């Protein structure tokens, strides 16, 4: 007997691991600034990290050494494994093709229970067919034919949408499994 497993799609940056804090830190070092996470109230970083061009910000990520500073959020290792065991799990990331291989290698290192076929590079996330989609970017969820969970961040709090809101992957797991995050 086979049982249907719900298909769960998770965004990567800002959902599974913290990219933005090491990115800001490296920007502060290179461009002699003093920005903090709470300063980032818009999704587009170059609107806040104004001493760098958006191309210069992208180049920070193309340096392999940068990625050792990119680490899982609290609960991410334990609850990504639980989600992977209990659901049909995919990591769906809107990533520059030059960065995709770097990110896949980092995921496989940090989360050895994830298989490469579960990692998808997709720029229009609404194309993905899933029961649930978790993202920190409002625009990636709008119009998608899936249940939506926004992963809380300073740049997504000002929204008209009444979606589930999670603060970590433990919340995500509890919302999908039990319908709430308590």
Q: Which residues bind Mg ion (CB under 5 A)?
A: 11, 13-14, 136
How far apart CA 69 and CA 26 sit, in angstroms, is 10
Whichever of 150 and 176 has its CB closer to Mg ion, that residue is: 150
Q: Shortest Cβ distance from residue 138 to Mg ion (Å)?
A: 11
Q: In terms of CB distance, is 13 or 171 closer to Mg ion? A: 13
Task: Report in angstroms how near the CB of residue 166 gets to Mg ion at its nearest.
Answer: 13
Nearest residue (CB) to Mg ion, 31 versus 43? 43
Residue nearest Mg ion, Cβ-based:
14
Nearer to Mg ion, 12 or 175 (CB): 12
Rounded to a whole number of angstroms, the minimum distance from the CB of residue 1 to Mg ion is 37
Name the minimum Å distance from CB 32 to Mg ion: 27
Contacts with 98 (C-beta within 8 Å, 6 or more apart), sequence order: 62
How many CB atoms are located within 10 Å of the residue 116 CB? 9
Phi, psi of 69 (to 5 degrees): -85, -5
The dihedrals phi and psi of 177, each to the nearest 5 degrees, come to -80, -40
Cβ 27 vs Cβ 123: under 8 Å:
no
């Amino acid at each position: 007997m086979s049982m249907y497993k719900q298909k769960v799609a998770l965004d990567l940056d800002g959902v599974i691991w913290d990219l933005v804090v090491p990115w800001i830190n490296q920007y502060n070092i290179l461009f002699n600034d003093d920005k903090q996470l709470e300063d980032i109230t818009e999704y587009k970083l170059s609107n806040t990290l104004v001493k760098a061009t958006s191309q210069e910000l992208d180049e920070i990520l193309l340096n392999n050494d940068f990625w050792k500073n990119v680490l899982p959020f609290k609960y991410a290792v334990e609850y990504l494994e639980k989600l992977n065991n209990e659901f049909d799990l995919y990591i769906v990331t809107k990533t520059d093709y030059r960065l995709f291989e770097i990110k896949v290698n980092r995921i496989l290192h940090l989360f050895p229970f994830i298989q490469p076929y579960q990692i998808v590079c997709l720029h229009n996330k609404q194309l993905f067919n899933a029961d649930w989609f978790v993202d920190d970017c409002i625009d990636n969820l709008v119009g998608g034919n899936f249940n939506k969970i926004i992963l809380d961040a300073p740049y997504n709090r000002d929204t008209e949408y009444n979606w589930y809101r999670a603060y970590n992957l433990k919340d995500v797991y509890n919302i999908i499994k039990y319908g709430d995050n308590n």
